[in-house]
Structure 1
Amino acid sequence: MRDRLHVTTVARILTVATIAYAPCSLAADAAPWLLYRDANPFVAASGLPFAPPVAAEGWSVEALVDASNTEVAFERGGERLTYDAEIHAARIAVTRAFGPHWLVRATLAELDIGSGFLDGFLEDYHRMFGFSNGDRGRLVTDGHTIRYDDGNVANTVAFDRRLHALSPLLVDLAFRGDASERAEWMAGATVKVPTSHASALVDDRSTDLSLWLALQSTDAQARWPWGARVGLMQRGNTQLLADRANDQVPFADAMIGYRLTPHWDVAAQLQWHAALYDSRVPLLQDAATLALSSAWHADAGWTFRAGLVEDAIPRHAQDVTFFLALSL
């Protein structure tokens, strides 16, 4: 019954998005930002913003599915963390442009935490590139285990089950203006609204506010589209590792693309954030992710993008994430 409820919820979200798409228009010349942020559940349960919203006029819709797989264990002083799980996400973002300057975006996802199906493939993937931390099955867990202990009962995390749940709702409000004939600046705020009591690893129950500034290219003929952003997240009263939570978290994003043809591009997106927790465990410290992708832009106005995300600072973020995205 619980699974059916969440499937129904996602179906309703997709239905609303489809209706919203009817009058939509996507900026073919927009910087190719990827709807992504650090998928580490100790981060994703917070209000850390996704990449900046993009819309030319009217409505735009983005849908993304991804699978993140990680198996790590740490023991640092009195802290112990075991993380062996695969997280699947089906995410939808609906953006509305009001005139030439204002943008509003709402982002929501359905999450599935379990053992997944990528372990064998990722072992081969890591060995192909000579990476030493790719072996799976070393931790002797059931494949959906996330545990943290520092001797403080209030900070203990003991997650050992499959879970389907809604992610927090993130709402972006942005104002943009021309920086030059080929670029625009954007000033925005992102609010995280709690949606789920399923687990603090899905939603830490805080209400977070982020303020940010972005600069990005808008030239439709640019061979090298680009974008950059800096910001600060003010966290609310989190229920996840509350005694170790940092109140303020700076973050920065950068993106660059290359148009191979009028219809085909490749892009790289680097995202960094400071530590959300006062901890000696790498996975709870500052982190950076690097997304590499390629996209096809159809004459009808939609864009299909596929790629992967790696932890740019090893063992500080999710190990590997694969994704497929559709923009309308």
Structure 2
Amino acid sequence: MRLPFLTLLLVTSAGSLSLAAADEPIAVGHLARNAGAPFVVRDQNPLLAGFGVPSTMPSRLTSGFAGGLDLYWGSTAIMQSHGDEALLVDAETREARAILEGKLTDRVGWRLQLPYRYTGGGSLDSFIDSWHDTFGLPDGARSALPRDQIAIAYTRAGTRELNVTSSSSGLADIQAALGYELHSAPGSALTAWLDVKLPTGDADKLTGSGAADVSFVLAGQHSPLNSRWTVFGQAGVTYLGDGDLLPSDQQRSVVWSGMAGVSVLAWRGLSLKAQIDAHSAAYDSDLDFFSNAVVLTVGGDYLFKSGWRLDLGVSEDIAVEHSPDVVFVLGIHQGW
């Protein structure tokens, strides 16, 4: 479902940009400082989401107290095999991630993420199948799998390492972070973060890894042209504890991650944005779904005069079958 959907979004974006040129936005200075922030996303791969690979972190500390809720609704249908490995993932994932953040001093801030995660059969398969039929897109493994059922199985060297046949949900691994603002100016910002993921989830329910992870992240943004345009990026390294999902001899101890994107204030409170997130493999495996992942998220946000910001986007696996087929993203954020 990739090309037609992304093309539709890009055409819509172009139309909005033309509108922007003819209609000056309201309170552009205020909106430019608050709209167009990156999507708060991370790889929703049900076999990797329990690790502490960081989601998007702020490049500028909030001036007071801020909060938000991000929702992710994804679908995966893949069958892969290579050598003595075989993997089946037919599942839908839903995650709600509450975020609270504030300042301790002028340059030191904190951030707390409280996620709740579901992995099961879901209801997206019919919609995705209809989309594929309409645009003549290949179904991949979907045509060979039953609709709205869950089946996650992994076999290595003749041993069944993972076998999930029923839906599960629960509190996922909580993440707590401290940030130090290295640079802050009207058109740019740079903040370093120390992020710790706590093992509050359950590896058997795919809501956690069963171990604590620690990440170091550098997040920045800059407006190179004018206040309408913003480029942003992030680089991170995560040290993984010994998890319980797959055998410890197969898990790597370090995962690298990065993000780069751009946003434009198109019209009044509307910003259009696109970003690419990537990370290295967390497991030693020849299967694509356990390998390096590259995910594109496109969409936008709208900043209301009340200060609430609404994010809408969709994520697609640029590295095909290295992450979920599609993830719909919805976020609401506010600062006080």
Secondary structure of the 2:182 match is: strand
Deviation at 1:89, TM superposition (A): 1.3
Q: How big is each residue's C-alpha offset from its partner over 1:33-65, in whole Å with a ceiling of 9 and x where there is no partner?
A: 212100002211100101013543111111012
Determine the structure 2 residue equivalent to 1:246: 252
Q: How does 1:1-328 map to 2 (within 5 A)?
A: 28-29=33-34, 32-53=37-58, 55-133=61-139, 136-140=142-146, 143-151=149-157, 153=159, 156-178=161-183, 181-197=186-202, 199=204, 201-217=206-222, 222-241=227-246, 242-328=248-334
Look up the equivalent residue of 1:79 and give its one-letter code: E
TM-score by length of 1: 0.85
State the alpha-carbon separation in 1 of the partners of residues 85 and 140 from structure 2.
Answer: 23
Question: Kindly, what percent of the aligned residue pairs are identical?
Answer: 26
Look up the equivalent residue of 1:136 and give its one-letter code: R
Provide closer, same or farther for how the CA distance between residues 29 and 268 of structure 1 changes in structure 2, counting only shifts above 3 A: same
Secondary structure of the 1:260 match is: strand
Deviation at 1:124, TM superposition (A): 2.6
Moved over 4 A (4+): 127-130, 218-221
Q: Is contact 1:63-1:325 (8 Å) kept?
A: yes
State the alpha-carbon separation in 1 of the partners of residues 147 and 250 from structure 2.
Answer: 26
State the alpha-carbon separation in 2 of the partners of residues 214 and 320 from structure 1.
Answer: 25
Provide closer, same or farther for how the CA distance between residues 27 and 173 of structure 1 changes in structure 2, counting only shifts above 3 A: farther
Deviates more, 1:102-111 or 1:71-80: 102-111
Q: How big is each residue's C-alpha offset from its partner over 1:113-156, in whole Å with a ceiling of 9 and x where there is no partner?
A: 11111111112333445532356351348711111110375x70
State the alpha-carbon separation in 2 of the partners of residues 135 and 156 from structure 1.
Answer: 21
State the alpha-carbon separation in 1 of the partners of residues 224 and 179 from structure 2.
Answer: 20
Provide closer, same or farther for how the CA distance between residues 52 and 30 of structure 1 changes in structure 2, counting only shifts above 3 A: farther
Deviation at 1:197, TM superposition (A): 2.8
Provide closer, same or farther for how the CA distance between residues 170 and 261 of structure 1 changes in structure 2, counting only shifts above 3 A: same
Count of residue pairs the alignment pairs up: 302
State the alpha-carbon separation in 2 of the partners of residues 110 and 220 from structure 1.
Answer: 39
Determine the structure 1 residue equivalent to 2:9: none
Question: Which gives a bigger RCO, structure 1 or 2 (Cα 8 Å, sep 6+)?
Answer: 2
Q: Is contact 1:210-1:231 (8 Å) kept?
A: yes
Q: Is contact 1:30-1:220 (8 Å) kept?
A: no
State the alpha-carbon separation in 1 of the partners of residues 148 and 122 from structure 2.
Answer: 11
State the alpha-carbon separation in 1 of the partners of residues 104 and 227 from structure 2.
Answer: 25
Look up the equivalent residue of 2:330 and give its one-letter code: L
Unmatched segments (≥5 aa) in structure 1: 1-25
Q: Is contact 2:169-2:207 (8 Å) kept?
A: no
State the alpha-carbon separation in 1 of the partners of residues 157 and 146 from structure 2.
Answer: 23
State the alpha-carbon separation in 2 of the partners of residues 183 and 86 from structure 1.
Answer: 38
State the alpha-carbon separation in 1 of the partners of residues 41 and 292 from structure 2.
Answer: 17
Secondary structure of the 2:57 match is: coil
State the alpha-carbon separation in 2 of the partners of residues 227 and 130 from structure 1.
Answer: 35
Unmatched segments (≥5 aa) in structure 2: 1-30
State the alpha-carbon separation in 2 of the partners of residues 207 and 293 from structure 1.
Answer: 33
